[in-house]
Copies of this chain bind each other. A is one copy, B any other.
Amino acid sequence: MTGCSEIAERLISLDEAVEEVIFDGCQLAIGGFTVTRNPMALIYTIIRRGIKDLHLVCHSNGQGMDILVGAGCVKRLEIAYGGNGRYAPTCIRFRRAVETGKLEFEDYSNYQMALRFLAGSLSIPFIPTRTGLGSDLMELEGFSSEVRREEKVASSKYARVDNPFSAEKEEVPLLPALNPDVALIHAQYVGEDGTVRIKGLTFADLEQAKAADKVIVTFEELVPRSFIRQDPDQNSLAAFFVDAYVKVPYGSHPTACFNYYDYDPAHLNLYRHMAEDDDRFQEYLGEWVYGVESHEEYLRKVGIDMLLKIKASPGIGYAPGLDRK
């Protein structure tokens, strides 16, 4: 209104955002999908600040989920897919944590997790599904009955109800809604009025944000009101859903951000190599998370050469010809 940002008081730092919004034991949803638009800068801050006992609720989360699990921040995990595509068909620290019994975990499918966030965003307690029938997703529960009694954990993995609108008997599975304490989203644009615009695929980010009690949005660029309001059909999330904003260029590195930068293949390969061994993984955390004081220092470590290599080409949205082996 005055030329200043209308969201000045909600525009805070990474540390402030984590301090104010995230707490030990909270249920957390993170946006993005495998190697794209993970809110990495926030995730590094969570690790650095020693947040623990997180209850992570994911559909297909890769890099962000894996490093949180590896750093020991996660007690409980609901997930459909833990992988980084060709860079780690199964996320390595996630695999290790499950195999060594260090994690309470529950498996759903991707659509089911997305529907659970949708139900949460609509403030309805459950939603029917047509998937899962006959599979071990519906036969086996990962959580114990003790865990099932805890706050924010659904009382059962699924329920079944007879379709009351069908003449023949037809059993329909129901999924419990998810309403996380916090959702973390990384976006390309935030307007001075607080409106959020995500470009490219949105995955389940919008459902996660609307399902959550609190939302932190990190973003690449703060844009004028005139820019964000020129075509409001493109906008993703109204300002009243967002509790804290943090400007973090390259905030999802080493994962990708459409129109801004590609994933960093060298870093994803480095991560896989380091994650394969417990000691090496601690080294990785020491070097890239604990040993780094700010996001700016992190970017200096990544280096301008790599940032130029992964720079997205306008009109294409990714970095063509990037060496991705």
Contacts and interface: CB of A to CB of B under 8 A. Distances in A.
B159 A165 contact: yes
Given A124-B129, A130-B124, A199 B233 contact: yes
Interface in A219-247: 230-231, 233-234
A73 to B, nearest CB: 27
**Prevailing SS type, chain A contact patch:** loop
A164 interface: yes
Interface string A159-174: 1010111110010101
A163 B159 CA distance: 9
Interface in A245-278: none
A125 interface: yes
The 8 closest A-B pairs by CB, nearest first: A159-B164, A124-B128, A165-B176, A125-B163, A155-B165, A154-B165, A161-B161, A199-B233
Given A125-B172, A155-B167, A159-B164, 6 more contacts: A125-B165, A126-B165, A126-B172, A199-B233, A230-B315, A233-B234
Interface of A: 115, 119, 122-130, 154-156, 159, 161, 163-167, 170, 172, 174, 176-177, 199-200, 230-231, 233-234, 315
